[in-house]
């Protein structure tokens, strides 16, 4: 499948070959490991642009936080330290609530819902990014989020006191509501955090657990389909506006293919990674009805809180999504 996607992206690039006056190199920091499907999709996007511009605009990816740590990527692109980057969208919810539209618990719990929510939120998000000197290129969802533990959990009461890896405002709030202790940990640090006991639990996708081999430290994964968070790729606005129209068209074409390829990777990766967790000794199962109901109660609380912070723009996104 990866070869097919890469071939398609490269073919698009060949179709749009163009000559520019001056060759440029853009560095693209990414927060996840090179083997993660987001990083693979980003690498193919970069290859597509490089090929499509006949090397006149070369994009070089730097996965795993190797150029900038995940928490520094957005600021680096905003300030022109680098021209393009990828980051978890909801990691910026503390800046503006709109960045967390994709992480409202139990609002969009399927891939189809995630696409619909993205379509209604995209105009508001694009406008927000524009005001921050950024241009949105594309976005890819993660698989549905589930709960990881190193013990059996049948109710929220079983979570009390557990050290819980948080990666955005929503995960920190879930920890608070459940009586857990949130610990801010970037994706690249997950394996070490669990191995050393800095964290004992998290809410994340099967993909993250598989990439980081969490079965070496954790024992249980509960499918709750809480939300499907998104990564997004963005460009420094000044750098974007400095491109000629032909190059912009190539980048937009490559971005569309990357969004399509990344989406289907996420879909197919979901069951594969859950199967791999089980194959490596983890207990993988649906949360029982009692736990699921308690978590949905958290979702109602957090939805109301998000709407209060997001204001009219947030309400418009929710209304449009529910009215579709």
Write out pLDDT tens, residues 260-278.
999 999 999 999 999 999 9
Q: Dihedral (C-alpha) 304, 306, 310, 314: value to the nearest 10 degrees?
A: -70
Pairwise CA distance, residues 90 & 117, whole Å = 14
Residue among 76, 83, 77, 39 nearest 61 (CA)? 39
Residue 134's beta-bridge partner residues? 236
pLDDT-derived band at 16 (thresholds 50, 70, 90) equals very low
Pairing of strands 283-286, 220-223: parallel
Q: 158 and 291: one domain?
A: yes
Name 123's Cβ contacts closer than 8 Å, sequence gap at least 6: none
Pairwise CA distance, residues 228 & 106, whole Å = 9
**Is pLDDT of 320 > 70?**
yes
Pairwise CA distance, residues 119 & 253, whole Å = 18
> What is the average per-residue pLDDT within 250-259?
98
Residue 233's beta-bridge partner residues? 86, 138
Q: 41 and 165: one domain?
A: no
Pairing of strands 201-204, 163-166: parallel
Q: 45 and 81: one domain?
A: yes
234 within 8 A of 92, measured Cβ to Cβ: no
Pairing of strands 146-149, 201-204: antiparallel
**Does 211 fall in a domain?**
yes
Pairwise CA distance, residues 59 & 109, whole Å = 34
**Does 262 fall in a domain?**
yes
The phi-psi region of residue 73 (left if phi > 0; otherwise alpha if psi is between -120 and 50; otherwise beta) is alpha
Q: 241 and 311: one domain?
A: no
Helix then strand then coil, % of the chain, to nearest 5:
55, 15, 30
Q: 118 and 40: one domain?
A: yes
How high is the mean pLDDT of the chain?
Answer: 93
Q: 210 and 255: one domain?
A: no
pLDDT-derived band at 176 (thresholds 50, 70, 90) equals very high
pLDDT-derived band at 20 (thresholds 50, 70, 90) equals very low
Q: What is the DSSP letter of 168?
A: S
Largest CA distance in the chain: 64
pLDDT over 90, % of the chain:
91
**Does 276 fall in a domain?**
no
Q: 222 and 236: one domain?
A: no
Q: 65 and 115: one domain?
A: yes
**Does 12 fall in a domain?**
yes
pLDDT-derived band at 107 (thresholds 50, 70, 90) equals very high
**Does 91 fall in a domain?**
yes
105 within 8 A of 174, measured Cβ to Cβ: yes
Enclosing domain of residue 162: 146-226+281-322
User: At 14, which CATH number?
Assistant: 3.40.190.170
Q: 126 and 155: one domain?
A: no
Write out the two tokens for 32: 């996840």
Residue 222's beta-bridge partner residues? 147, 285
Pairwise CA distance, residues 262 & 252, whole Å = 15
Q: What is the DSSP letter of 229?
A: -
Q: 162 and 234: one domain?
A: no
**Does 203 fall in a domain?**
yes
Total of domains in the chain: 2
Residue bearing the bigger pLDDT, 5 or 28: 28
């Amino acid at each position: 499948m990866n070869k097919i996607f890469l071939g398609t992206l490269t073919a698009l690039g060949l179709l749009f070959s163009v000559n520019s006056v001056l060759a440029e190199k853009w560095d693209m920091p990414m927060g996840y490991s090179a083997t993660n499907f987001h990083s693979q999709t980003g690498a193919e996007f970069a290859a597509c642009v490089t090929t499509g511009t006949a090397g006149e605009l070369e994009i070089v990816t730097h996965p795993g936080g190797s150029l900038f740590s995940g928490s520094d990527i957005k600021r680096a692109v905003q300030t022109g330290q680098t021209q393009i980057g990828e980051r978890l969208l909801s990691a910026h919810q503390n800046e503006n609530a709109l960045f967390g539209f994709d992480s409202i618990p139990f609002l969009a719990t399927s891939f189809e819902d995630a696409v619909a929510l993205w379509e209604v939120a995209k105009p508001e998000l694009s406008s927000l990014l524009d005001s921050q000197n950024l241009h949105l290129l594309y976005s890819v969802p993660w698989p549905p989020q589930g709960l990881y533990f190193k013990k059996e959990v049948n109710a929220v009461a079983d979570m009390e006191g557990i050290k819980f890896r948080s990666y955005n405002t929503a995960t920190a709030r879930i920890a608070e509501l459940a009586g857990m202790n949130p610990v801010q940990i970037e994706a690249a640090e997950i394996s070490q955090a669990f191995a050393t006991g800095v964290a004992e639990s998290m809410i994340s996708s099967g993909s993250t657990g598989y990439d980081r081999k969490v079965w070496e430290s954790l024992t249980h994964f509960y499918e709750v389909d809480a939300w499907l968070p998104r990564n997004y790729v963005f460009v420094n606005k000044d750098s974007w506006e400095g491109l000629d129209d032909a190059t912009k068209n190539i980048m937009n074409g490559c971005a569309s293919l990357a969004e399509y390829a990344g989406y289907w990777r996420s879909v197919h990766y979901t069951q594969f990674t859950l199967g791999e967790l089980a194959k490596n000794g983890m207990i993988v199962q649906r949360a029982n009805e009692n736990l699921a109901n308690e978590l949905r109660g958290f979702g109602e609380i957090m939805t109301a809180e998000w709407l209060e912070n997001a204001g009219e723009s947030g309400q418009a996104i929710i209304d449009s999504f529910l009215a579709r």
